[in-house]
Structure 1
Amino acid sequence: MYNMKLYKYCLIISSVILFFTSCDKETEGVSRITYYVDLELKGASQLFWPKGTAFVDPGVIAISNGEDVSGDVILSGSVNTNKPGTYPLKYSSYNEDGFAKEAVRTVYVYETDGAPITSTFWNTSPDSYRNSGGTITRYGSSYPIIINQEEPGLFYISDFLGGFYQYRAGYGAAFTAQGYFRLKEDNTLEFISGDVEGWGDSVTKLVDAKYDPETNTLSWGAEYVGMTFYVTITNN
């Protein structure tokens, strides 16, 4: 009886040892260190480029485990400097295990033909405010707004709401009213479009929209879902 119990115990111990030995063999060589690529843009992430001028990509720096692998970076996208507009460029670098690191640059090609409004970053005045049913909410800070002339007198704007939801509320770029306006001869602004991707709706119109050449400011009231956003921007 004693020998039988001893035999069973030995059998159990042998099975456990065999199990863990098998696991060790199956996982042998599987666990190892993977080095992710450190990818960094050279130059700004947003560039303004004059129409008709050859685009020179500042490029990127890619380092993997101390080695410069910038030459292996894959570029997606291109810039047509003969056609003003917005051009996204995506840079991708993969490590030896196939894990990717990406960086994005946006190039704004601008029309150089006669308009006093400069294609560049403009800044929201902190005194801009939202009127929601009589309740006034001031912006309180200055936020960057992109203006880019794509045809003579026709301008792209990154946000008719002046950064209220993107920056002040912290919702991000999907909650900007991107669109277009036209500068008329009397320096008033003709509203064309202003769509908010995040909510799937749009600014309906602009009121008292104008450019003041003496102060180099743009100002308007953007009517949006029952509210009016009174925005003033400048690039001084």
Structure 2
Amino acid sequence: MKRNKILYFFALFAACLFVSCDKDTEDISTITFYPVFEMEGEQFQTVFVGDTYTDSAVTATEAGEPSEITTVGSVDTSTPGVYTITYSATNKDGFTVSVSRYIGVIDSAVTDVDLSGMYQRTAGALGVSTVIKLGPGHYTTDNVGGVAVPGPSTTIHFFNTEGTTLVAPAQEVAGGGVFSIEDGSYVPVGNSASQYSWVVINPGYGTALRTFERL
């Protein structure tokens, strides 16, 4: 929602500049309204392998009027993994806005695993990551890259889909950055972990495998 308000502001600002610079277009301005989405249910969801997934409703409006939505993506509940469904709407001026929902298809064998806790990166800034379990196989970390000072701009959702595999789909975080991970895994200790590792996919984070050890 904040993004749409920002875009609206810049559109109005640009229109005002145009009017002030050209006397021939005085008293003429153009405002474009970007589609605003409302999503029922959670943006990040889980379903067990073999179960049925039913997508919750998503609607979009442009200046209060309903907008047509195009949906791309599907969920294969026979195969563990994370699936993305993207919803897009285009306004009358041709500008398209999209939102996504992420569905983790989880092997029931990881139901009792709990990776929650505090971990410290073994290199770089030695930043601390706080991992919170939100549901079966579904977690957040407030420090995806192990930076010195974590926060909303480094907070992502990730999934333990099967075995010791960790997956985080490409997702926008606070501040507009986009993160995902590759080669994610953890070292099990009972129903928890002694450490986890992954490669952060984001400009500026490099390609090194980042390892976090439990504190």
1:92 partner letter: S
Name the counterpart of 1:13. none
Distance 1:49 1:182 in 2: 24
Q: Find 2:199's aligned residue among 180, 187, 195.
A: 195
Identity of aligned pairs, percent? 26
For structure 2, the residue ranges without an aligned partner over 5 or more in a row are 1-22, 133-139, 142-157
Structural mapping, 1:77-116, within 5 Å: 77-113=73-109, 116=112
Q: Shift of residue 175 of structure 1?
A: 7.7
**Using the alignment, how far apart are the partners of 1:171 and 1:38 within structure 2?**
17
1:36-55 equivalence runs, <5 A: 36-55=34-53
Compared with structure 1, are the counterparts of its residues 55 and 142 closer, same or farther at alpha carbon in structure 2 (3 Å cutoff)? Answer: closer
- Relative to structure 1, the CA distance from residue 177 to residue 123 in structure 2 (aligned partners, 3 Å threshold; closer, same or farther) is farther
Q: Normalising by structure 1, what TM-score?
A: 0.53
Structure 1 pair 157–123 and aligned structure 2 pair: CA distance change class (3 A): farther
- Secondary structure (helix, strand or coil) at the match of 1:102 reads strand
Q: Which has the larger radius of gyration?
A: 1
Amino acid at match of 1:90: T
The match for 1:156 is 166
Distance 1:80 1:63, change over 3 A: same
Call closer, same or farther: CA 1:129–1:98 in 2, change over 3 Å. same
- CA gap 1:157/1:94 in 2 versus in 1, 3 angstroms: closer
CA contact (8 A) 2:82 2:159 kept: no
SS in structure 2 at match of 1:89: strand
Q: Work out the CA distance in 2 between the residues paired with 1:141 and 1:182.
A: 17
- Are residues 1:66 and 2:64 paired? yes
Gap runs ≥5 in structure 1: 1-22, 159-165, 204-221, 223-228
Matched residues in 1 for 2:109 and 2:76: separation? 17
Contact 2:104 2:161 survives alignment (8 Å): no
Residue of structure 1 equivalent to 2:213: 230
User: Does 2:102 match 1:129?
Assistant: no
CA distance in 2, matches of 1:157, 1:48: 13
Partner SS state of residue 196, structure 1: strand
Superposition pairs of residues 181-220 of structure 1, within 5 angstroms: 181=186, 183=188, 194-198=198-202, 199-203=206-210
Aligned length: 163
Q: Which residue identity lines up with residue 62 of structure 1 in the other structure?
A: A
Task: Provide the C-alpha distance between the structure 2 equivalents of 1:182 and 1:141, rounded to a whole number of angstroms.
Answer: 17
> Could you tell me whether the CA contact under 8 Å between 2:82 and 2:167 is conserved in 1?
no
Deviation of the 1:117 alpha carbon:
1.3
Going from structure 1 to structure 2, the CA distance change for 1:182 and 1:78 (only over 3 Å counts) comes to: farther
Coordinate RMSD, CA, aligned:
4.1
Partner of 2:184: 179
